[in-house]
Homo-oligomer: A and B are copies of this chain.
Amino acid sequence: MDIKRTGSGAWNSRAVVHNGVAYLSGLVADDKSLTVKQQTAQVLEKIDAVLAQLGTDKTKILSSVVYMADLGEKDAMNEAWMAWMDPAHPPARAAVGVTLTPGTAVEIMVQAAV
């Protein structure tokens, strides 16, 4: 079975595709001065861009993990998430609080059908 990679860098690929599933890396916002909600929106835009590159989109996301630096900000994250998510196609999801690199409020890792 073929394996396709996109956005390969020093230690990971932005996405790896195998057998009809795209495995994306955990993506973060570039602008660390943004609020949690704004960082979430920026991450979701990045996910959209990677999925578009692979010929798929957010309606085909299968599963997601939302890693947050402060889970107390879950509501703010969810505002951006719900503004973005296609209500007819919600993925599986977990949202948990972890330590992220300084300034990063949210890191999101998804798997999508392609």
Please report A residues at the B interface, Cβ cutoff 8 Å.
Answer: 1, 3, 5, 8-16, 18-21, 23-26, 60, 62-65, 67, 71, 74, 78, 81-82, 85, 87, 89-101, 107, 109, 111, 113
Q: How far, in Å, is A49 (CB) from chain B's closest CB?
A: 15
Q: Is the CB of A90 within 8 A of B23?
A: no
Question: How many identical subunits does the complex contain?
Answer: 3
Q: Is the CB of A23 within 8 A of B99?
A: no
Chain B residues whose CB sits within 8 angstroms of the CB of A15 once the complex forms: 92
Q: Is the CB of B19 within 8 A of A93?
A: no
Q: Is the CB of A100 within 8 A of B71?
A: yes
Could you tell me the distance between the alpha carbons of A97 and B97 in the complex, rounded to whole angstroms?
9
Given contacts A3-B60, A82-B11, contact A107 B113 (CB under 8 A): no
Given contacts A23-B62, A62-B23, A101-B74, contact A94 B113 (CB under 8 A): no
Chain B residues whose CB sits within 8 angstroms of the CB of A11 once the complex forms: 78, 81-82, 85, 90, 93
